Amino acid sequence: MHETNETLRKTVHILAGLGAFALRYLTWQGAAAIAVLATFSNWLMLHRIVGKGVSRHERGWDAGIVLYPFCVLILILLFQRSSVFIAIPWVLLAFGDGAAGLAGRFIRIAPLPWNRDKSLGGTLAFLLFGGAAAFAAARFFTFPFGVAAILAVIAAAIVESLPLRVDDNITVLFSAAAALAIFGTRPMPGHELPPIAWEWIAANTLLAIAGYALRGVNLSGMVTGWILGSIIVIGGGPALYLPLLAFFIIGTLGTKLGFRRKAAAGLAQEGGGRRGAGHAIANVGVAALCAIAMWRGVDVLLPLMMGIASLATAACDTTGSEIGQLFGRRAFLATTLRRVEPGTEGALSVEGTLAGIIAAALVALTGVSAITHHLAPGFLGGLVINKSRTILVLTICAFLGSYVESLAGVWNRRHGSVVPNGVINFFNTVMGAMFFYVATHFIPMFGFTL
């Protein structure tokens, strides 16, 4: 019987946060290389060095151990030379989340009303130790510990306490980074922060309420979806929000279509088809991060297109799963093409795959059309988008991202489902965005033409 040594686990978790201060002396490329090395080391070597008690799985590693450095890597790639925007979320995850975990075991005080698995003592420990670490990081990087940093601490503490069913390594890091980027960003040279489109925020509010009223999302999904949608409106404007809207409509229709039949077969979305906060973060989180990059003025067009690619990937995966379960006559494993039961993790069907590709193309079409109509010409930097080619590239990247997710699903099933489904879905959208990044950087003239 495997036993997890939570004290050892949290000690390693906290000590790893000291690496955030080394960012001051590293290039972003060097930091990224170290994060990649740490990701593989945590997967393959950490349990051999400190013992298998560091893991919640008998194999010696679990999703959280690998996600920790991987999510830091995403922040490094996103913020690159703005080290403080990486360091503060990192120390909040290390010291705040680590202290909350230890305090939750030894100083529970009282369970939280909204999450009985978390305690008031843990949340207070997060605010105290995480806030102190964030203050130290801000001073170390000569960043004012003002409203933005305080909001980052509060946002991370709230998110850590919520029953989101998404790994804290994802939610704590990215919620803190979002607060810092939105409230602590100054215009970069040659870039003017775009005005906030309040009418689209209002539309996003109505959409969130409608999604709840139509039983497409539960309360946590409504609130989290509204927050992520607002971030996308603020950073990406209508050009990124309209693809989000297309994904939401397509995903909701796919989930509701034939719901009773899928429920009778035990394949329907849990919660009566209502999706929660975890689903919102897994499917829309990458697009929100891309919106933050747009807000900061870092290569505005590229993160916009990567955000659209991530939403197209989410649409491809969601639609493929829902339609495949409803109409798919045969399901095959993504690795061997061996026939399996519908609904098997990592399985594909011809019907679901075709439906997913169509859904991805619709989101891509919406995104490219939205760029033409809503993005200021100055943001394109002289680039003219070849519409048909870009839609094709986005659709291909979405399919590849979804297929890689199926491969990961097969691997996960074989290893006892050690990685939660929400993490697999988040990985899916990351891969779709990264495939687009690779296509535009290493395949000349693949996505854009001058």
Q: pLDDT digits over 31-54, tens only?
A: 999 999 999 999 889 888 888 888
Q: At 55, is the secondary structure helix, strand, or coil?
A: coil
Q: What is the pLDDT of residue 445?
A: 47
H/E stretch holding 333:
strand 331-333
> Per residue in 43-95, pLDDT tens?
889 888 888 888 877 777 788 898 899 999 988 987 887 899 999 999 999 99
Instruction: Pick the closest to residue 90 from 46, 49, 138 (CA basis).
Output: 138
Q: Are 372 and 385 spatial neighbours (Cβ–Cβ below 8 Å)?
A: yes
Q: Among candidates 278, 294, 269, which has minimal Cα distance to 224?
A: 278
116, containing H or E segment: strand 115-119
What pLDDT, on a 0 to 100 scale, did the predictor assign at position 449?
A: 42
Residue with tokens 């991805």: 360
Alpha carbons within 13 angstroms on the beta-carbon side of residue 108 total 8
Per-residue pLDDT at 314? 94
**Domain extents in the chain:** 6-184, 198-442
Which is it for strands 331-333 and 115-119: parallel, antiparallel or unpaired?
Answer: unpaired
CB–CB of 97/126 below 8 Å? yes
Query: What is the C-alpha to C-alpha distance for residues 356 and 306, in angstroms, rounded to an integer?
Result: 18
Which pLDDT belongs to residue 450? 30
Angle between helices 147-161 and 84-91 (to 10 degrees): 40
Tokens 């090395």, located at residue: 37
Amino acid (1-letter code) at residue 364: A
Cβ(20)–Cβ(86) below 8 Å: yes
In contact, 406 and 346? CB cutoff 8 Å: yes
pLDDT < 50 stretches in the chain = 188-189, 376-379, 381-382, 445-450
Backbone φ and ψ of 333, nearest 5°: -70, 140
Cα–Cα distance list, 346 to 231, 324, 337, 408 (Å): 31, 12, 11, 7
Cα(434)–Cα(151) distance, rounded to whole angstroms?
Answer: 30
Residue 20 to residue 96: CA distance in whole angstroms: 14
Helix axes 63-79, 168-184, angle to 10 degrees: 20
* Angle between the N-to-C axes of helices 301-327 and 238-256, in degrees from 0 to 180, rounded to the nearest 10: 10
The reported pLDDT for the residue numbered 377 is: 47
Query: DSSP H helical segments within 265-341, as ranges?
Result: 277-296, 301-327
Using an 8 Å Cβ cutoff, are 431 and 70 in contact?
no
